[in-house]
Amino acid sequence: MATMEENKLRSRGWFGKSGKDGFIYRAWMKNQGYPADEFEGRPVIGICNTFSELTPCNGHFRELAESVKRGVWEAGGFPLEFPVMSLGETLMKPTAMLYRNLASMDVEESIRANPIDGVVLLCGCDKTTPSLVMGAASVDIPTIVVSGGPMLTGRYRGKTVGTSDVWRFSELYRKGEMSQEEFTTSEACMCRSAGHCAVMGTASTMACMVESLGLTLPENAAIPAADSRRKVLAHLSGRRIVQMVHEDLRLSQILTKEAFENAIMINAAIGGSTNFVIHLLAIAGRIGVDLTLDDFNEICAKVPLLLNLQPSGGYFMEDFYYAGGLPVVIKELIGRLHDGVITANGKTMGENCATAECFDPEVIGTLAEPIKDLTGLAVLRGNLCENGAVIKPSASLNPDLMQHRGRAVVFEDIDDYKARLDDPELDVDENSILVLKNVGPKGYPGMPEVGNMSLPKKLLAKGVIDMVRISDGRMSGTGFGTVVLHISPEAAVCGTLALVRDGDFIELDVANRRLNLEVSPEELETRKCDWKPLDLGYKRGYVNLHINHVLQAHEGADLDFLVGGSGDKVTRDSH
């Protein structure tokens, strides 16, 4: 018999019922071989699994889920694993980002509609983290995140390699300095174990984000996927979620404004991906925290880069773990961040990192001796991006470009860019600014990671390694260069970006957070009259829904009708 406390569990609205409904809810579960007393008031823990062989970064999640289950059983819970839409970054066309919001709907409805008291989110590859957290936030039951962990560091011809080398290798290949055979060999050298990208790309950024928001146990971010301690963390998270249900510790108690501010500061200190901005804004929107782009500027300006990981530095996630992991970075920031916020283990941020110790100052710097003075992210304003744009100064290869005035070389869309970039006749030099339009949330659609455009072949041949590039798209977290992204409003809704023409002068001034197009307002008005909306040909289905409802980048690119939450209540039974 269930006790009074147990009767308060949401799952009792299914398994605690008498009569026909209770029969139906329990009987079909019993075909999996559960004894009757499993249904008598144990917290039911959903394990939301993004395992898919089409999401290779999450390919080890069946095993990881088993570790979570052990912990749940041990703590007296009843674990039930369920699959949700999984987003594989490398395979999905036109971009996994197009489906982030769709996956979040799957997660939200799967949690709410089922007899789940608490949920463990198994996240790994880039979009699988924000989509799961967004969906869970719109339900707001006790939730803990377990990341899948990074791949082991790759090695190619005696040198360490990771995902950022894809961009380097492909430029070498284009220049003819790497053969097809070498290029193919390096593929296997890079991806040599289970796990997600091992640089501080978006997946690692997301793993750090969930830890810095307080949604995981300490050390979640950096333990390699192949390290047995990743399974221990999953096991302990399984134990802990049962406790969280007893304490009724919900997402909304952890995801406070202070927690978001902490995450922004920590992301700046680790040199996290620019994609962080979009995903964090979307999560804040779901849980009802008022967060804007301006919050990022203010907070990021307070910290230098403390972590020496590619693409901003030289090391990999594995090194980060051995150096002490994220708790070391957090400890260094105590005094600047809100250390009293509560986290998933019931302890405060400050308590969690109290004993953290740095074992490798080459990898994790200090405020007194940072890796770079440049901060992680900056938000730009100006007539070219009235609602903002984002740049990652720490990823620039030529700091002189942080202040730069140059002539625009405009590509109207991705096809135009691909067709003309390497044209020997292209009127471009190293001072030009490459402008790519129509790669925003609506315009592509789905805001792909194409913002770190390759440099024109003829400039590569001259030894040019960096140029200012601007677009309404995103960049892979593994990418680098002086790249302005997320211009809002995007070209597809006739933002000023849509009106830029070849030869216009653009001024980038990162120190003063400015991005301006030197064209008069009158001339821009005239150009606006000539502008025609795109017809992308998506007349039906999810993509049509996305195009009609997606918000702009500065609002997190969520679908407008998904902002906010609906809680965990369901009022009617299914029979």
Where do contacts with Mg ion occur on this chain (CB under 5 A)?
89, 126, 202, 476
Given ligand FES, Mg ion, none, residue 125, with its beta carbon under 5 to 8 Å by kind, binds ligand FES
Given Mg ion, ligand FES, none, residue 101, with its beta carbon under 5 to 8 Å by kind, binds none
Query: Nearest to Mg ion by Cβ — which residue?
Result: 476
Smaller CB distance to Mg ion: residue 163 or 396? 163
Would you state the structure tokens that stand for residue 167, as one six-digit string? 């961009």
Cis peptide before 311 (omega within 30 of 0): yes
DSSP 42: P
List all residues 6 or more positions away from 541 whose beta carbon is below 8 Å from its beta carbon: none
CA dihedral sign of residues 267, 286, 293, 290: negative
Residue 88 CB, shortest distance to ligand FES, in Å, is 7
Smaller CB distance to ligand FES: residue 125 or 337? 125
Smaller CB distance to ligand FES: residue 163 or 488? 163
Residue 287 CB, shortest distance to Mg ion, in Å, is 24
Query: Closest Cα to residue 502, out of 424, 433, 415?
Result: 433
Residue 147 CB, shortest distance to ligand FES, in Å, is 11
Residue 201 CB, shortest distance to Mg ion, in Å, is 6
The residues that touch ligand FES, with contacts defined as CB under 6 A, are: 57, 89-90, 125-126, 163, 196-197, 201, 203
Given Mg ion, ligand FES, none, residue 98, with its beta carbon under 5 to 8 Å by kind, binds none
Residue 477 CB, shortest distance to ligand FES, in Å, is 8
Smaller CB distance to ligand FES: residue 90 or 544? 90
HSE-CB at 480 with a 13 A cutoff on CA atoms is 24
Separation of alpha carbons 233 and 68, rounded Å: 8
Smaller CB distance to Mg ion: residue 10 or 196? 196
Q: What is the DSSP string of 85-123?
A: ----TTT-SS-GGGGHHHHHHHHHHHHHHS--SEEEEEE
Would you state the structure tokens that stand for residue 394, as one six-digit string? 């720490």
Would you state the structure tokens that stand for residue 231, as one six-digit string? 């399974």
Residue 311 CB, shortest distance to ligand FES, in Å, is 12
Smaller CB distance to Mg ion: residue 202 or 394? 202
Separation of alpha carbons 437 and 71, rounded Å: 49
Given ligand FES, Mg ion, none, residue 274, with its beta carbon under 5 to 8 Å by kind, binds none
Residue 466 CB, shortest distance to ligand FES, in Å, is 23
Given ligand FES, Mg ion, none, residue 344, with its beta carbon under 5 to 8 Å by kind, binds none
Given Mg ion, ligand FES, none, residue 455, with its beta carbon under 5 to 8 Å by kind, binds none
Smaller CB distance to Mg ion: residue 104 or 476? 476
φ, ψ at 507 (rounded to 5°): -120, 125
Q: What angle do CA 148, 153, 154 make, to 5 degrees?
A: 120
Smaller CB distance to ligand FES: residue 201 or 495? 201
Residue 186 CB, shortest distance to ligand FES, in Å, is 16
Q: What share of the chain is helix, strand, coil (3-state, %, to 5)?
A: 40, 15, 45
Given ligand FES, Mg ion, none, residue 243, with its beta carbon under 5 to 8 Å by kind, binds none
Residue 190 CB, shortest distance to Mg ion, in Å, is 14
- Using an 8 Å Cβ cutoff, are 210 and 122 in contact? no
Smaller CB distance to ligand FES: residue 142 or 479? 479
φ, ψ at 319 (rounded to 5°): -60, -40
CA dihedral sign of residues 94, 100, 102, 107: positive
Residue 414 CB, shortest distance to ligand FES, in Å, is 20
Query: Closest Cα to residue 490, out of 453, 438, 452, 527?
Result: 438
Given ligand FES, Mg ion, none, residue 57, with its beta carbon under 5 to 8 Å by kind, binds ligand FES
Q: What is the CA radius of gyration of the chain?
A: 24
Smaller CB distance to Mg ion: residue 126 or 555? 126
Would you state the structure tokens that stand for residue 313, as one six-digit string? 């530095």
Given Mg ion, ligand FES, none, residue 213, with its beta carbon under 5 to 8 Å by kind, binds none
CA distances from 357 to 41, 329, 353 (A): 42, 10, 9
